[in-house]
Amino acid sequence: MNPTQDQQDLFSLIQHDGSDNSISRRRFLHTALGAGFAAAALPVCAQTMITTPDTGLVTGQFSVDVQGQAVPVYLAKPAKGSNFPVILVTSEIFGVHAHIADVARRFAQAGYLAVAPDLFVRQGNPAAYPTIAELISQVINKVPDQQVMQDLDAVLAWAKTQGGDISRAAITGFCWGGRITWLYAAHNPSIRAGVAWYGRLTGNQSALNPQHPVDIAAGLRVPVLGLYGAKDTGIPLSSVEAMQKALAQGKSQSAFHVYPDSGHAFHADYRPSYVEADARDGWQRCLQWLRDHQAI
């Protein structure tokens, strides 16, 4: 099957090099949630990969029942206290791998109850597909947005039973999860804020993806911060500008910060696309945005 234009665009978002500065494929092929990386995400750059300790945290894999479907969730929260602000962490197409779990621990170290659900569980395991093309066609293109919204609602409700204060909930996500961040902010106006990292803003509408962020922007009520790279070949600045114009028609007070020297996935410290200075700056902007909107 030939890829659609949207698929071709997504391929361009996720480029890898074949340098020797990578960790071996065998060492990183794991299936446990929050461990290892999907084969399609390799090679992994060991030199830049950040590992956040779980000292002072409760971490691990849990399961949330969503209308009879067990949805795996990686949770990280402070070991002491309760009523933590909640952050939903939505992954790239590669699923809840080691980097996403590490991001959850970073939020937990900052005082959040962080939950990263496996939003692909019904369609397949991203770790099982050796190429991006196969992963997209066999898993990603079969995930309905409505299903994702339902799963996030259930995971958020479950977070309350784990000591989370869902009146101070927020969402963040990367690439595929960045698009979901915009959509969930529109779906659930009770959350306080969102931070979308280089998520697609426009696209072809379909039964599974009836709307894209630009379509919901004018009616958005939740403030979302978009962190994007000017050199992202899959998300052109023209789409960012279109999103900004649509947001200007509403009252969400959402905003963008575009990094002129970064491309796609500049926050992904395990990939060649990583730009340390912009990733660190983006992380601080993310935390400050959440603080400013009382999601902590």
By annotation, the residues acting in catalysis are 175, 232, 264
| C-beta separation of 13 from 264 below 8 A | yes
DSSP result, 54-79: -TTEEEEEEEEEETTEEEEEEEEEES
Q: How far apart are CA 222 and CA 225, in angstroms?
A: 10
- Tokens 């995930």 locate to 143
Prior bond of 210 cis (ω within 30°) = no
Which among 48, 76, 42 has a CA at the least distance from the CA of 61? 76
| Helix or strand (DSSP H, E) at 101 | helix 98-109
Q: How far apart are CA 6 and CA 47, in angstroms?
A: 32
| C-beta separation of 136 from 12 below 8 A | no
Question: Which residues does 103 contact at the CB level (< 8 Å), separation at least 6?
Answer: 89, 114, 116, 174
| Helix or strand (DSSP H, E) at 185 | helix 176-187
